[in-house]
Structure 1
Amino acid sequence: MWRNYVTVGLRALGKNKVYAFINIFGLSLGIAVCLLILTFVRYEFSYDSWMPGAERAYQLQDFYKPTERGGEEMKLQVSSIASGEALVKDFPQIEKKVYLTTAPMVVLQNGQPSTPERGLLADGNIFEVLQVPFVRGDRETALDDLHSVALSESEAKKYFGNANPVGKTLTISYGEKREDFRVTGVFEDLPKNSHLRMSMVARFEPHEFFQPSEFTSWNNQNGFIYLKLREGANVKDIMDQLPAWEKRNIPDDTGDGPKSNPGDYQDWRLTNVRDVHLGEAQHAAITTGSDKQTMITFVVVALMILGMACVNFTNLATARASQRAREVALRKVLGATRRQLIIQFLGESILVAGIAMLVGLAMAELALPLLNNFLDASMEIHYLGGAGILLPVLVLALIVGLAGGVYPAIYLSRFQPARVLKANKSSADAEGNGRLRNLLVVAQFAVSIGLIICTAIVYSQTIYARTMDAGYKREGLFQVYNLRDPQADKVAKTLEEEVGKIPGVTAVGRTTIAVNPGNNSMTSAKRPGQTTPTQLGTYGMDPGVVDALGMRLLAGRGFSESIPTDDSWTPTPTDLAAEKALVARGTNLILSESAAKRLGFASAQDAVGKPILAGFTSDEVGGYVPATIVGVVSDVRYRSIRQPLQPIMYFYQRQGYNQLLVRFTGDPQQIRAQVEAIWKRLVPETPFQGRFVTDIVKTLYQADETRAQLFGMFAILAVVIGCLGLFGLAAFTAERRTKEIGIRKVLGARTRDIVRLLVWQFSRPVLIANLIAWPIAWWVMRDWLNQFDIRIALTPTPFVIAGALALGIAVATIVAHAFRVARTNPVYALRYE
């Protein structure tokens, strides 16, 4: 019996090759796309789950919230040293704490400087918390001693070739220090599905590196704190006690009034390392991230595309059911029960689903390397083991087969033999009005149209982010890093002057903030008489920055080296005498336009010449410096448009800058080569690092652009699957209405009338699909766009274009077939009558 069922099923496929191809290819394409998307999503959720002990490893994160003092919402993976120390003191559930920070690091070997790919400083053995596998040395003791360093395999090979580096020495310069470090271990290169980005970790003493104030300040987030909880400790118990912990440990800021406390606008969270990648807090320094909502969206899209393929399967199977009405009737006459018929047609459906599953797996295997390359990932498909997909795939094939075949099986098995076999009864006249098929076509194209709309909006927002007026000119701007290095800092002014002499260079400036800076600095400011200060970003820039960035001076003047009160510099580490002298003489500042508004000035012109108090000094000298606003500049969006625009208070200092900005015209590569040559001449022991701002901005929005391209690919595949089903239905309908078409032609209908009739029949579901897709896509995209501080407007354009495109594709899919049918000689349709 089963062999007969298989034979009949294969013969049915063989007799209808176009139907078989559409059914199998469409379903296999849907399965392949679904499998690839779910593999990607599982890969994203697998970050750091490979790490032993990951369930006990946590990162302390710092969340800023806006208050009446102002300030922007920030979700940081970095935290203050003070918060980590207080947490360990109050919670015995914490077994170990390690503090990590980034710093400009230079490795000197054989007199040649080089920069580690991703160098970090740690105040303890981070490998006890983050248990990455070691290939040489002992992970448990790798960083127990000061001046010990652990390298990744790639970094070790870079410095020592294939030799064993353990026990050998590297000279490392960081901050103002240059010390010898002994290599004590080599760890495996971290896999791509890790939130960490580190190739060198050196043990240092924070008290020798940071100023004393940084150990007591709760507002200085300059490093990453990782914690290892004891066995059996419940992180929720710690989280529940954090509000009380804040009140118990955080002192009020001196001089800010009785209500000023860092705990008023900060909250801390413990996030498991496996959740950092998809967590709310993101930081580009040592981690890479995504967001959980995007992954959920991808899962929904995967299931919708698979659902579309199943809809095709069901639609075509139901449509072709009437072609097998005589077979069903004969089987019933010969004694077949309804149960046997249901089993037969369910079996055929599962057989086709099984074939499609094999083809889909092959397609997924072939496409996976391309997807890995596109996403810079290392995804793999495993069939056996804990992460194996063989069992889920078999279950999926069974479910798809049952879901696609259950309705046709029930529909076919209920045919009445007498009605089908009666005289002159054509198989094409079997019952069924196609209402379900039309509903399913509407659902398919609603999904396709929705994906096209989402793709258009995501891509438009990405283009807008890259090209919008950010308050500076992207083209012709070059950023030079490592300026904070002590060797570079000593000659920074000379470097600026030499670079300014390069032909084609029109402006040069030193600054502590640049495009995608990776740092954040805030301080309090208030107008005289105000009791509640406001929070403003505070960064240094020299007189050349306004022209180098292309900022607009809205009122007043820029900084000048010839005006002593423009200089706000005080020595590092803190010099109380110098700070008192600064308070005594006062200083001059420049505000951004939004900073002037936050301080309550009616306009840029209104702010110029007005006094304010700026929180530039330590508490011992009162915290505030009297300052005069000498200029107001346009707002500059240094960071991604996902982050709020930061109102900024600029000050001038003689030294201590992070970056050099170079405005130029002409050949970019030639300018870069000349800047690099000057750097190597003046700072031979510090490697040169520089990037064009256009490249930085492209990288800044790379994830959004990749997401837009992925949605675009999914939309194309969804349209292909939808059109496959539509073509199959059009072919079936034209065949079913052969006699009707013949009669219409005999009665005088023209070819274009017949084509219009068929096209309209299949255009109506697409038009109805628009009415369903538009409001859903609008709601989804509105929420997505709300993630950005500035965004494009949700205009009708992408909705109309998507609807028209889907309609055009649908019409193009069926018009050729409709034209061929309409030109058929009516004699062939009517001769059996």
Structure 2
Amino acid sequence: MWRNYLTVALRALAKNKTYTFINIFGLAIGMAACLMILLFVRYELTYDQKLERAEDAYQFQTYYKDPDTGEEGNLQMSAFVSKGALTKDFPQIEQAIYLQSSGPVVIRNGEASPSPEAMRYTDGNIFSILKFPFVKGDPNTALAQPGQLVLTETEAAKRFGAEEPMGQTLTLVSSGKAVDYRVTGIIKDIPKNSHFAGDMIARYDPQSFWVDQPNFLDSFGWQSGWLYVQMKPGTDVAALNAQIPAWEKRNIPDQIFGGQRFNQGDFADFALVNIRDIHLGHAQDGAMTPGNDRTSIITFAVVAALILGMACVNFTNLATARASQRAREVALRKVLGANRSQLILQFLGESILVAAFAMLLALTLVELTMPAFAAFLNADFTMSYVGEGGLLLPIIGLVLLVGAAGGLYPAFYLSRFQPAKVLKANKSSADAHGSGRLRNILVVAQFAVSIGLIICTAVVYAQTVYARTAEPGYKRDGLMQIDGVGRRQLQPMIDTLLNEVRNVEGVKSIGRTGIGIATQNNSNTGIQMPGRTEPVSIGNYAVDSGFFDTMGIKLLAGRTFDDSRAMDDATTPFPEVPEAERAFAARGVNVVMNELATKRLGYKTPQEAIGKTLKAALVDEEYGGVVPVTIVGVVQDSRFRSVREPVDSIMFLLNQFGHGQLLVRYEGNPSDVRARIEAVWKRVAPEVPFEAEFSDDIVRELYEAEEARATIFAAFAGLSIVVGCLGLFGLAAFTAERRTKEIGIRKVLGARTKDIVRLLVWQFSQPVIIANLIAWPIAWWLMRDWLNGFDTRVDLNPALFVGAGLLAMVIAAGTIVGHALKVARANPIHALRYE
């Protein structure tokens, strides 16, 4: 019996090559998409899953909410002081270790080079909590003492080449202090599916490192690193998190601001989060590696399932459409004694066989495209069939599921034919009743999915282009950003360097700043307002007098900074000198604010803010706590960060310290200007690496994730259209075949070719029109929620929806018009001669 079923199935597939191709190719596309997304989803859900004792490793996170604006800042970072407070109050914690990010200059054999982007300082052996495998060295002692250094394999090869790295010395220069570190361990490269990034991890002494800025060690308002804790096995962390509010009250001290008392804990919440949940967690600010959200993963999984469902719909549609070709076979089998359950089993078997052939093609497509897919997503995908993480069982399950999903209804539909009705009139009961309503419904569903994906692709792409090209409030063209001008070792020759750069051919102006384009640093201070207990939080960044002109930021009222005015200068000695701090607090300083900051402070117009004096928390409480600040200028708002984040409200101060970036306004060939500046830099400051990027490149990198999402949506939309059109072509072919006699009669009665084509095209255009009416509101609802994640965004233009609908109509018409022309041009005598 089984041999007979297999023989019949293979003959049926070979006889109907168009039907077979459409089903196998369509199912293969759907299965390949499903497998690729399965790999992607598994990859996203397995971040840090393989680390030993991952269930006991946690990160202490900080969540802020601005009481005035409602803006949230959900940080994976926390304050250094929270480490001691946690270990003191919670004996469930075995150990706690703090890491901070830094960008020291690395010196080896007298040659300076930049540190890797993932450079970390740690105050303990972080690998006793995050147990990444070691290639060389002892993981228990590699970071046991300050002055020890661990590198990844790639970083070790980059620094030492073929030399043995163990025992070698690298000199790290941070804040002007050079400290030697000895390489005591080499770890495997951190897996890409880890929230942690660290190519160079150095054990340091926080007390000596922060001797010039002791507030780092005891301030709960200074989040500049990551705190990891290891819990004792079996600890109920949910219960511990429930005690955090009481912990805040015990440990976060009140502060005096302008004679009024407030507590930083009133604006913040804290939580311990397992390391396996960080990548998809609530907090994504201050992350070492880009995070994701479960909604995005679910969205891609749903889209892949929809494409697979469309392929199954094709199978169902075509199987029922060609029922007339199987009716006599069913009738004869029943006459010869076959019961309905045997027929159902036969047709389900055929469906599973088609799914198996499609899976072989799908696996070929996956193997061919997976390297490019993984590179595009910057992920480590592995395609294994057996062993840990093997896909053999999911593949078999997918074949059975798809075979059943596509073949179940046709099996029941075909097996119900009555032999007497089929054989006595030499026709199928499929011709006798049924209007093809189910097939029309399924076609509508297919094109609704395709149209919806086209709309989503268009909206995501439009938002990406808008984000990249939206007016940022400064002149982006002809702007270069150079990092590292705040390094302590650069300060003795900073004036010489700036003068040399200013005189480079092609350089129009330069300016230093503490808030550059797409930098991650955040610096805020409190402004005291009459009648308020809590201060208003405003961004606080140092600039020099050339900043505004170089950036091209428009002045709305008042003036910008003038180096010749003593009250404009907010510079005080660093490290702090008590007498200078007190003198600064007594005399006050002039500031420039952006328009948003003045609005938050209650001024209706920029001009109204000019000349107003407020009090800002710019010095420690021991020196007076607040400084009188007079607003002398208001500039337009500028977007320094992604459009996903709100525009910063900023108070600018003229200060010779606190600059991280040098901005250069240039003209002429960008590469030539950059090369000339680099030559000057290496001549004047050879011990500081030259790191420069053009503003356009920075912004493009900022929106790479959005562009990747747009590309993936476009790929899915394209696949859905291909699958939908395959099914539509097959239906058109079979429908035209069934209506051959009708078309022949119409031509005999005078119908023209274009009338026949119009008839067939209109028949298949109606489902597409209905699909538009279904897809538009669903796509609008989904894209509205997605766009709400941006601070500024494109409008949901009706033209996008109409355009997607028209595109679907054109594609559908183009799919069937060729076949319609062939049928319409046929000689009617060939259709009618049998009669």
**CA displacement, residues 7-45 of structure 1 (integer Å, 9 cap, x when unaligned):** 111111111000000011100111001111121121122
**CA displacement, residues 621-658 of structure 1 (integer Å, 9 cap, x when unaligned):** 23110111010011111111111111000001123311
The aligned counterpart of 2:185 is 185
The aligned counterpart of 1:407 is 409
**Aligned with residue 576 of structure 2, among 533, 549, 574:** 574
Q: Matched residue of 1:214: which SS?
A: helix
Q: Where do 1:758-797 residues align within 5 Å? A: 758-797=760-799
AA at the equivalent of 1:196? F
**1:256/1:533 contact within 8 Å kept:** no
> How far 1:831 moved relative to its partner?
1.1
Q: Where do 1:42-53 residues align within 5 Å? A: 42-53=42-53
The aligned counterpart of 1:327 is 329
The aligned counterpart of 1:489 is 491
**2:324/2:428 contact within 8 Å kept:** no
Distance 1:175 1:71, change over 3 A: farther
The aligned counterpart of 1:205 is 205
Aligned: 1:141 with 2:152 = no
Task: Identify which range, 93-102 or 435-444, moves more after superposition.
Answer: 93-102
AA at the equivalent of 1:568? A
Distance in 2 between the 1:539 and 1:500 partners? 23
Q: Matched residue of 2:525: which SS?
A: strand
**CA displacement, residues 515-550 of structure 1 (integer Å, 9 cap, x when unaligned):** 111110011012456544200000001010101111
Task: Identify which range, 753-762 or 216-225, moves more after superposition.
Answer: 216-225
Distance 1:285 1:511, change over 3 A: farther
**2:28/2:361 contact within 8 Å kept:** yes
> How far 1:391 moved relative to its partner?
0.6
The aligned counterpart of 1:613 is 615
Distance 1:426 1:77, change over 3 A: closer
Q: Where do 1:621-632 residues align within 5 Å? A: 621-632=623-634
Distance in 2 between the 1:425 and 1:193 partners? 60
**CA displacement, residues 348-386 of structure 1 (integer Å, 9 cap, x when unaligned):** 111111111111111111110111122222211111123
Distance in 2 between the 1:425 and 1:533 partners? 85
Q: Matched residue of 1:260: which SS?
A: strand
Distance 1:447 1:256, change over 3 A: farther
The aligned counterpart of 1:9 is 9
Task: Identify which range, 608-617 or 51-60, moves more after superposition.
Answer: 51-60
**2:317/2:442 contact within 8 Å kept:** yes
Distance in 1 between the 2:725 and 2:66 partners? 50
**1:256/1:532 contact within 8 Å kept:** no
Please give the root-mean-square deviation of Cα atoms over the aligned residues, in Å: 1.5
AA at the equivalent of 2:776? W
Distance in 2 between the 1:31 and 1:494 partners? 64
The aligned counterpart of 1:109 is 108
AA at the equivalent of 2:108? Q
The aligned counterpart of 2:29 is 29
The aligned counterpart of 1:541 is 543
The aligned counterpart of 1:293 is 295
Aligned: 1:169 with 2:169 = yes
Distance 1:257 1:336, change over 3 A: farther
Distance in 1 between the 2:492 and 2:132 partners? 39
Distance in 2 between the 1:58 and 1:410 partners? 54
Q: Matched residue of 1:141: which SS?
A: coil
The aligned counterpart of 2:153 is 153
Distance in 1 between the 2:707 and 2:795 partners? 18
Q: Where do 1:252-263 residues align within 5 Å? A: 252-255=254-257, 260-263=262-265
Aligned: 1:692 with 2:694 = yes
**2:568/2:591 contact within 8 Å kept:** yes
The aligned counterpart of 1:390 is 392
**2:81/2:220 contact within 8 Å kept:** yes
Aligned: 1:80 with 2:82 = no
AA at the equivalent of 1:148? Q
Task: Identify which range, 542-551 or 524-533, moves more after superposition.
Answer: 524-533
Distance in 1 between the 2:553 and 2:130 partners? 44
* Structure 2 residue ranges without an equivalent (≥5): none
**2:421/2:428 contact within 8 Å kept:** no
Distance 1:450 1:423, change over 3 A: closer
The aligned counterpart of 1:745 is 747
Q: Matched residue of 1:518: which SS?
A: coil
Distance in 1 between the 2:429 and 2:534 partners? 85
Distance in 2 between the 1:66 and 1:280 partners? 17
The aligned counterpart of 1:99 is 98
AA at the equivalent of 1:36? M
**CA displacement, residues 298-338 of structure 1 (integer Å, 9 cap, x when unaligned):** 11111111111111111111111221111111111111111
Distance in 1 between the 2:549 and 2:493 partners? 22
Q: Matched residue of 2:322: which SS?
A: helix
Distance in 2 between the 1:71 and 1:676 partners? 44
**Aligned with residue 728 of structure 2, among 723, 726, 729:** 726
Q: Matched residue of 2:826: which SS?
A: coil
**CA displacement, residues 687-718 of structure 1 (integer Å, 9 cap, x when unaligned):** 11111111110111000100000000000000
Distance 1:670 1:109, change over 3 A: same
Task: Identify which range, 524-533 or 710-719, moves more after superposition.
Answer: 524-533
AA at the equivalent of 1:207? Q
AA at the equivalent of 1:101? Q
The percent identity for this pair of structures is: 57
Q: Matched residue of 2:20: which SS?
A: helix
Q: Where do 1:206-605 residues align within 5 Å? A: 206-210=206-210, 211-255=213-257, 260-283=262-285, 286-423=288-425, 425=427, 429-527=431-529, 530-605=532-607
> How far 1:749 moved relative to its partner?
0.9
Q: Matched residue of 1:494: which SS?
A: helix
AA at the equivalent of 2:174? Y
Structure-2-length-normalised TM-score = 0.98
Task: Identify which range, 638-647 or 493-502, moves more after superposition.
Answer: 493-502
AA at the equivalent of 1:12? A
Task: Identify which range, 687-696 or 229-238, moves more after superposition.
Answer: 229-238
> How far 1:793 moved relative to its partner?
0.9
**1:75/1:281 contact within 8 Å kept:** yes
Distance in 2 between the 1:244 and 1:478 partners? 48
> How far 1:258 moved relative to its partner?
5.5
> How far 1:110 moved relative to its partner?
1.2
Structure-1-length-normalised TM-score = 0.98
Distance in 2 between the 1:429 and 1:825 partners? 24
**1:496/1:509 contact within 8 Å kept:** no
> How far 1:275 moved relative to its partner?
2.0
Task: Identify which range, 163-172 or 443-452, moves more after superposition.
Answer: 163-172
**2:451/2:775 contact within 8 Å kept:** yes
The aligned counterpart of 1:678 is 680
Distance in 1 between the 2:426 and 2:79 partners? 87
> How far 1:163 moved relative to its partner?
3.2
Distance in 1 between the 2:287 and 2:542 partners? 21
**1:317/1:408 contact within 8 Å kept:** yes
**2:258/2:615 contact within 8 Å kept:** no
Distance in 1 between the 2:783 and 2:343 partners? 47
Distance 1:497 1:530, change over 3 A: farther
AA at the equivalent of 1:115? P
Distance in 1 between the 2:428 and 2:531 partners? 95
**CA displacement, residues 773-831 of structure 1 (integer Å, 9 cap, x when unaligned):** 11111111111001111111112111111111111100100011011101111111111
* Structure 1 residue ranges without an equivalent (≥5): none
**CA displacement, residues 497-527 of structure 1 (integer Å, 9 cap, x when unaligned):** 2211112211100111101111100110124
Distance in 2 between the 1:758 and 1:292 partners? 44
> How far 1:268 moved relative to its partner?
1.2
Q: Matched residue of 1:377: which SS?
A: coil
> How far 1:242 moved relative to its partner?
1.0
Task: Identify which range, 631-640 or 415-424, moves more after superposition.
Answer: 415-424
**1:101/1:122 contact within 8 Å kept:** yes
Distance in 1 between the 2:166 and 2:789 partners? 47
**CA displacement, residues 442-496 of structure 1 (integer Å, 9 cap, x when unaligned):** 1100110110100100110011000001111221111111112111233223322
